[in-house]
Amino acid sequence: MTVVALIACGLAAGILGGMLGVGGGIIFVPALVLIVGLSQVEAEATSLLAIIPVAVAAVWRQREYGNVRMKEGLLVGVLAIAGVAVGVVIANAVSGEILKIAFAALLVLVAIRMAMRALRPATTD
């Protein structure tokens, strides 16, 4: 069951990432916790490793279409390294339940913001 779940998780994350630009963590973390049985911290850390090949493949394909802004992407990525260092310390200092709640809250907030933007009347420039 675990191998099948991991295969399904990888395929779903790849398809959704390619179609919608969502990070693999949106798929990986819940699947690794709920289906595979990892702890929240283990799922988050494993998701970070899993996203490396996903990101490389996605950038390669999107670059063919001219959609990648390399300078901006690299700047955000390099600066995020400092945030990751802090985030890892916090993730290991708080309970798994707090992390689950924080992750769920983040997903809800992102969903609300995206729905609000999608439902906003289009403006013509």
pLDDT in tens, 71-99: 999 999 899 888 989 999 999 999 989 99
- Give pLDDT < 50 ranges for the chain: none
Q: What is the pLDDT of residue 121?
A: 82
pLDDT for res 7: 87
Contact 24, 47 (CB under 8 A): yes
Does the pTM surpass 0.85? The reply is: no
DSSP states of 37-100: ---HHHHHHHHHHHHHHHHHHHHHHHHHTT---HHHHHHHHHHHHHHHHHHHHHHHHS-HHHHH
